[in-house]
A and B are shown apart, each in its own frame.
Chain A
Amino acid sequence: MDAASRISARIFRFDPASDAEPRYEAVEVPHQPHMRVLDVLDYAVEECGVGLGYRYFCGVKRCGMCGVNVNGKPVLACWEEATPDMVIEPLGNMPVIRDLTVDRSAFERATIDLEPRLVRKAPYASFPEPYTHRDVAATFPLMNCIECYVCSSTCPAVSGPAGGPRTAGGRRDFVGPGTLVQIAKVALHPKDELDRSAMLEQASIDHCMSCYRCEQVCPVGIPIVSHAIMPLRGVAAKGPAGIARFPLEFAENVRTHVDIHSGSLFVKAGGWLRALASLPMLLGMLVRGKTRMRARPSARARREVEALFEAAEP
């Protein structure tokens, strides 16, 4: 864009305390070199006199507070380049406090409740501890996370603005990827010795859809699913309530059948009652030839796969 260009932005305005419904306020902003969305918001206030409610503190992708949706895409206002036509709205999955300011407390509370501190059992000797950069390979990719919760704002497994009210039995709705990265930072630290499996079960980590949406939007480029959620799912799989054991059952199924035998997996995962509840669907599948299995894999294949399982043991 050249210096003479202008940016048109429509900004979401809503004060639940005094407005019946949201509206959009239009501003026109002259383009500046390297302009960010945040500069547009500042301009709207400082030059256009719009009394906008929005959060930011650092402007340089550290405080994690300036998350907004721009043309439907969740971004950090300080990081995202301003483009000629923008609709700027608050992040999703969080209640709107005012205008672009949202209530993050459900996610923040979940983070604190899940023990985000390193828990040592072996006593700490002295500085510097003897370990290498490789020793922190698991947790290092997560360290730049700034808790912006942009990921959680767009996660399809998070239950929307209601966020995380506890369900019956103390189990939460899915806490979201942002919180899980915070937990993974310490859970994957070489010195952490807390058994976090029960907590992760209660955090409903088994609700992650592995859709990688969080990785796609993370402004810092944290490999959230691969390096935080997957390892934590492995931890939760061994939890006492057995809520998150599906990955183990899946693995067992492959070990036994080479291909996935979905019938037995379905029953194992959900139990016979669940299978019964799905009877109409199962009958429908039967009628359409969807339950017929192809030929069983050979004994040789089973041996090969068994050998892989053994060789893969840590």
Chain B
Amino acid sequence: MAIRARYGSSYLNDPDYIRRACRFTEDVFFPEMEQRGLYIRRDDRGELVTSHDRKAGNVWAPNQGFSGTMIMELLRKEVLARRVPLLHETMVTALLVRDGTVCGVTALDIVAGEFFVIRAKAVIIATGPGNYLATRSTATREQCGNGFAMAYRAGADMQDLEMQWFHASDIAAPKSWMRLHLYPNPMPVTDQSIWLHGADRRMFFHLGMNPKVKQPYYLQLRYLYDEVRKGNADWHGGFYGGYTHIEPEIMENYSYQTQFFKHLGFDITKDLIPCAITWHMTFGGIRTDNRTMATTLEGLYAPGGCGSHGVGSITYVSYDGTLAADQACERARHIAMPALPEDGVQREQERVQRRLQQRAAQGLLPAQVKKRVRAVMTDRMGYVKSEARMAAALDELAEIRDRLLPAMGLGSTSRNWNYDWSEALDAEDMLDVCELTIRMSMQRKESRGYFFREDYPYIDNRQWLKHTVARRAASGVEFEFTPAAPIFRPENEIDDFLTAEY
């Protein structure tokens, strides 16, 4: 637990939440999923396959790199087979709030091009912690900050959005494979893990260098920063991941990843794989009570990574989801269907409808505007932050909002599967979330975990064992700071970020 608090969240996590989530993992998740048919990898003797350190207990279902897909597939089939009504390819565009209480959502079915309202006694938002907000990102195509944007616009508190993770070792090319992660974790049944090499091809990082660290991602970034400063790597490439030191049979037998490298013609016993960093998950999100998943908006629950209680594993988000479902059901049993806000629906409908317009002669498609937003974030809001760069980012985003957004338009105004239309709404959401993230980053005047400011390159446990909370206000953004709840306190009050023990 102490290790998780220290290395996993830099003391911003709530160990009590972690304890509960771990209990759920053992007591509920694994038995229920296995009962559903999830195959947790065994060997020929029937032993569970894990990495050497059994206590850390990485298991795979059925292959390393593919477990999440299998788990999601089983759950999805369960939902579909029970005929739970599902609206496919339907984008929720706004949360409807009346008197501080959530009363439903508005949605756009892009297959039919139809806008509609869903009334609800409770809303569970589960849009995840990852957002495609920079040119390279691990979030999927449609994760464009919509969940955060909706919650923020509806008046919910947001927390710790600045605690933005980066992956150090995702494949550099092709661009469409930017989410392909070269995991730093040990290969099954071994303690061997990937090495990072600089442009000079010398190894500069591997997990074994800090054996206590189970989640080495932020360490990778610090070592990479060193290499970048020495001119031996670049954030966008010029460094490598390598498996050349690991026995070939180990790579063959278990890893789902090796097929990708083979497909590109790499021989991983000899070749190093070019890598680059990617914008990964946000530790924070919509502010949640981690005992109930409730947000500051009554009737709105935010389980999983889109909440603010930290990112965990798929078992943790299952815990969250179970909690939120129980809470939402309980609420629904005891209240009447709330009324809709008087003009909320109409305003939102107008906003959405406004985006169904043909692009102007000099205008851009929404996908092109989104690309511009991501470019700004890549240039100005990378791993290495500073006041000057963040201010510049705000300016550049403001320019996009003022000049490009009004001229943005669609290739066609057909209502038939008009994906561009949903992308136009994405562009708005992205601008909202990026701006908020930058402002929250500017508030935190220290570095911590994944959050690195060159102008404040130290960990300040005296002032900053706090959560940054932001909410929408008439004046713009209102900030608040709440103390973190560490059961395990850090040793030092101030630490040099780049050399600190965690």
A and B touch in the complex (CB under 8 A): yes
Give complex CA distance A42, B43 in Å.
42
* Cβ contacts under 8 Å, A189 to chain B: 37, 39
Please tell me if A231 contacts chain B, counting CB pairs below 8 Å: no
- In addition to A39-B176, A112-B81, 7 A-B residue pairs with Cβ atoms within 8 Å of each other are A34-B177, A45-B367, A57-B140, A59-B140, A124-B35, A127-B31, A139-B39
Please tell me if A116 contacts chain B, counting CB pairs below 8 Å: yes
* Cβ contacts under 8 Å, B415 to chain A: 17
* Cβ contacts under 8 Å, B488 to chain A: none
Do the beta carbons of B416 and A116 come within 8 Å of each other?
Answer: no
**Which residue in A33, A56, A139 is a CB contact (below 8 Å) of B174?**
A33
Q: Is the interface of B mostly helix, strand, loop or mixed?
A: loop
Do the beta carbons of A118 and B41 come within 8 Å of each other?
Answer: no
* Docked complex: A158-209 residues within 8 A CB-CB of B: 182, 185-186, 189, 191-192
Give the size category of A's interface with B.
35 or more
Measured CB to CB, the closest approach of chain B to A187, in angstroms, equals: 11
Do the beta carbons of A97 and B416 come within 8 Å of each other?
Answer: yes
Please tell me if B357 contacts chain A, counting CB pairs below 8 Å: no
* Docked complex: B403-451 residues within 8 A CB-CB of A: 410-412, 414-420
* Cβ contacts under 8 Å, A185 to chain B: 37
**Which residue in B81, B173, B410 is a CB contact (below 8 Å) of A34?**
B173
**Which residue in A57, A118, A132, A140 is a CB contact (below 8 Å) of B142?**
A57
* Docked complex: B160-195 residues within 8 A CB-CB of A: 173-180
Which of A's residues lie within 8 Å of B, judged by CB?
Answer: 15-18, 32-36, 38-39, 42, 45-47, 49-54, 56-63, 78-79, 97-98, 101, 112, 115-118, 120, 124, 126-134, 136, 139-140, 143-144, 146-147, 182, 185-186, 189, 191-192
Interface residues as binary, B46-73 with A (CB distance below 8 Å gives 1, 0 otherwise): 1010000000000000110010011001
Please tell me if B141 contacts chain A, counting CB pairs below 8 Å: yes
Give complex CA distance A195, B122 in Å.
40
Measured CB to CB, the closest approach of chain B to A83, in angstroms, equals: 14
Do the beta carbons of B367 and A140 come within 8 Å of each other?
Answer: no
Do the beta carbons of A36 and B411 come within 8 Å of each other?
Answer: no
Do the beta carbons of A18 and B412 come within 8 Å of each other?
Answer: yes
Please tell me if B335 contacts chain A, counting CB pairs below 8 Å: no
Do the beta carbons of B416 and A16 come within 8 Å of each other?
Answer: yes
* Cβ contacts under 8 Å, A39 to chain B: 174-176
**Which residue in A59, A127, A130 is a CB contact (below 8 Å) of B46?**
A130
* Cβ contacts under 8 Å, B174 to chain A: 32-36, 39
Do the beta carbons of B411 and A58 come within 8 Å of each other?
Answer: no
Do the beta carbons of B78 and A117 come within 8 Å of each other?
Answer: yes
Q: A117-B37, A128-B34, A144-B63 are in contact. Are A79 and B80 (CB under 8 A)?
A: no
Q: A36-B177, A60-B180, A133-B43 are in contact. Are A116 and B140 (CB under 8 A)?
A: no
Q: Is the interface of A mostly helix, strand, loop or mixed?
A: loop
* Cβ contacts under 8 Å, A117 to chain B: 36-37, 74, 77-78, 81
Measured CB to CB, the closest approach of chain A to B54, in angstroms, equals: 13
Measured CB to CB, the closest approach of chain A to B3, in angstroms, equals: 24
Give complex CA distance A79, B263 in Å.
8
3 pairs of A and B residues whose beta carbons are closest in the complex: A51-B411, A118-B37, A17-B416
Of the candidates B37, B48, B111, the one having the most CB atoms from chain A within 10 angstroms of its own CB is: B37
Do the beta carbons of B176 and A132 come within 8 Å of each other?
Answer: no
Do the beta carbons of A97 and B78 come within 8 Å of each other?
Answer: no
Q: A34-B264, A59-B176, A115-B81 are in contact. Are A132 and B45 (CB under 8 A)?
A: yes
Give complex CA distance A32, B40 in Å.
39
Closest residue of A by beta carbon distance from B419:
A53
Do the beta carbons of B81 and A127 come within 8 Å of each other?
Answer: no
Do the beta carbons of B367 and A46 come within 8 Å of each other?
Answer: yes
* Cβ contacts under 8 Å, A32 to chain B: 173-175
Q: A56-B141, A117-B78, A132-B43 are in contact. Are A38 and B34 (CB under 8 A)?
A: no
Do the beta carbons of A62 and B69 come within 8 Å of each other?
Answer: yes
**Which residue in A46, A115, A120, A143 is a CB contact (below 8 Å) of B39?**
A143
Q: A38-B176, A49-B365, A117-B36 are in contact. Are A144 and B66 (CB under 8 A)?
A: yes
Closest residue of B by beta carbon distance from A58:
B140
Identify 10 residue pairs between A and B in the complex whose beta-carbon atoms are under 8 Å apart, listed by A's number.
Answer: A16-B416, A32-B175, A34-B177, A34-B264, A46-B368, A59-B179, A98-B418, A124-B34, A126-B31, A130-B46
